[in-house]
């Protein structure tokens, strides 16, 4: 009888543990899954739930603060427009800089063969052509940097959407909502050191044209900040 009682109590404890685990919020479950994947070196899981992995190697942890989810419209459409505009601007400046270089190189080739007197007489034109090319080149490089920045934002947003709702064809054309939330956790490393991290989480709800029911995505990790030095 005692043996049956012990087995029953053990079963009850196991069941209680399962219930407690199941009672965690989706966000807490996500963080637990992420930390476990980091500790186990499970790269397949990490890339499926996070955009930019950060090493959070804790043996135990707890949530110390949590914001309420913030609802916003998806920005993928705006980013696509900005990316296209940035590309056109970059290409225009690239063309202008190339033409300015041709003008300067042609003039410079003649300028270098002239006498000192003729060089002095044409020095301003030489400097103007050179400055025009250098200015346009600098503008092009700045525009190229801006285009690459927006392209990275666009690609990251598209990847986050796919992580949340699944790899849907032409997902970048879907509209909907994105929910964001910040959760700060505090934990202990295996060396006994206390560390804090802020998890930036997002979840998407997208709508296909002609379909009223949205595609409800899961929470995923957008990025993680290490709050301790």
Q: How far apart are CA 163 and CA 166, in angstroms?
A: 6
pTM attached to this predicted model: 0.81
Q: How far apart are CA 55 and CA 205, in angstroms?
A: 28
Strands 60-66 and 215-216, sheet pairing: unpaired
pLDDT in tens, 29-54: 999 999 999 999 999 999 999 998 89
Task: Give the mean model confidence (pLDDT) for residues 128-149.
Answer: 98
Q: How many CB atoms lie within 10 A of CB 13?
A: 10
Q: How far apart are CA 202 and CA 188, in angstroms?
A: 25
Model confidence at 174, pLDDT cuts 50, 70, 90, reads very high
- Contact criterion met (CB below 8 Å) for 190 and 59: yes
- Quote the crossing angle between the two packed helices 76-111 and 123-165, to the nearest 10°: 160
Task: Give the mean model confidence (pLDDT) for residues 105-114.
Answer: 96
What is the four-CA torsion angle of 120, 121, 127, 132, rounded to 10 degrees?
-170
Task: Give the mean model confidence (pLDDT) for residues 176-198.
Answer: 95
């Amino acid at each position: 009888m005692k043996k049956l009682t012990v087995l029953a109590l053990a079963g009850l404890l196991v069941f209680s543990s399962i219930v407690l685990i199941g009672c965690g919020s989706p966000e807490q479950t996500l963080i637990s899954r992420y930390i476990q994947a980091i500790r186990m070196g499970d790269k397949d899981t990490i890339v499926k739930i996070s955009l930019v992995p950060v090493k959070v190697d804790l043996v135990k942890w707890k949530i110390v603060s949590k914001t309420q989810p913030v609802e916003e419209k998806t920005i993928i459409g705006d980013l696509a427009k900005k990316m296209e505009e940035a590309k056109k601007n970059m290409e225009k400046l690239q063309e202008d800089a190339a033409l300015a270089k041709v003008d300067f190189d042609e003039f410079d080739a003649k300028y270098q063969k002239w006498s000192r007197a003729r060089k002095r007489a044409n020095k301003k034109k030489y400097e103007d052509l050179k400055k025009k090319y250098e200015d346009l080149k600098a503008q092009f490089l700045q525009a190229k940097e801006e285009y690459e920045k927006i392209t990275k934002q666009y690609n990251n947003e598209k990847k986050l959407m796919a992580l949340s709702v699944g790899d849907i064809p032409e997902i970048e054309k879907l509209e909907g909502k994105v929910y964001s939330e910040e959760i700060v956790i505090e934990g202990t490393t295996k060396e006994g050191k206390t560390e804090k991290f802020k998890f930036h989480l997002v979840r998407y709800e997208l709508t296909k044209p002609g379909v009223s029911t949205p595609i409800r995505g899961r929470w995923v990790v957008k990025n993680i900040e290490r709050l301790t030095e």
